[in-house]
Amino acid sequence: MKNKRDLIVNGSIIKAIIYVSLPLMINNFVISAYDVIDTMFVSNIGQTELAVVAFVGPLYQIIAAVSIGLSIAGTSLIGYSVGSEDFQKANRTTVHLLAASMFLGIALAIVLFFSSSFVMNLAAATENILIKGDRYFKILILSIPLVF
């Protein structure tokens, strides 16, 4: 714990930025690669299926953006406690944030799973996209608790 803190507080700013941002960069690369590979495979199935992936993807990204925003806020709270060297508060905050994230992720997944057609209609899905996209969107929705 001290070595990481020393690196960030007293070490080179470039090394600290790389140390802190590298996991996020790798995560974003994997997500982008998954989307590209998914698109490549789906394009071999048909045009409507490709349109479904292109339509549902941004809906899912909105959900992921909410999760990322909450994660950033939580990390700030934990970082504040760690910076104050109040490690018990940091541990409590971490436990509370994990519990809240799990609850929110599961609740959001349940609500969206049963209202997926409504959400897609709100986003102006055509009939073809709605028919095939509802099932695909529901599959993606099942992963929401893991994203949060």
- 39, two tokens: 């698109």
The reply to whether 3 and 18 lie within a common domain is yes
The reply to whether 34 and 51 lie within a common domain is no
The reply to whether 38 and 51 lie within a common domain is no
pTM: 0.73
Chain centroid to CA 39: how far? Answer: 19
In the block, tokens 């048909």 appear at 46
Domain around 38: 1-44
In the block, tokens 């993807």 appear at 57
pLDDT digits (tens, 9 = 90+) for 42-82: 889 989 889 998 898 888 888 888 888 888 888 889 988 88
pLDDT digits (tens, 9 = 90+) for 10-40: 778 888 888 888 888 898 888 888 888 888 8
C-beta of residue 78 within 8 angstroms of C-beta of residue 84: no
The reply to whether 57 and 86 lie within a common domain is yes
The reply to whether 74 and 130 lie within a common domain is yes
Evaluated on CA atoms 120, 125, 126, 130, the torsion sign reads negative
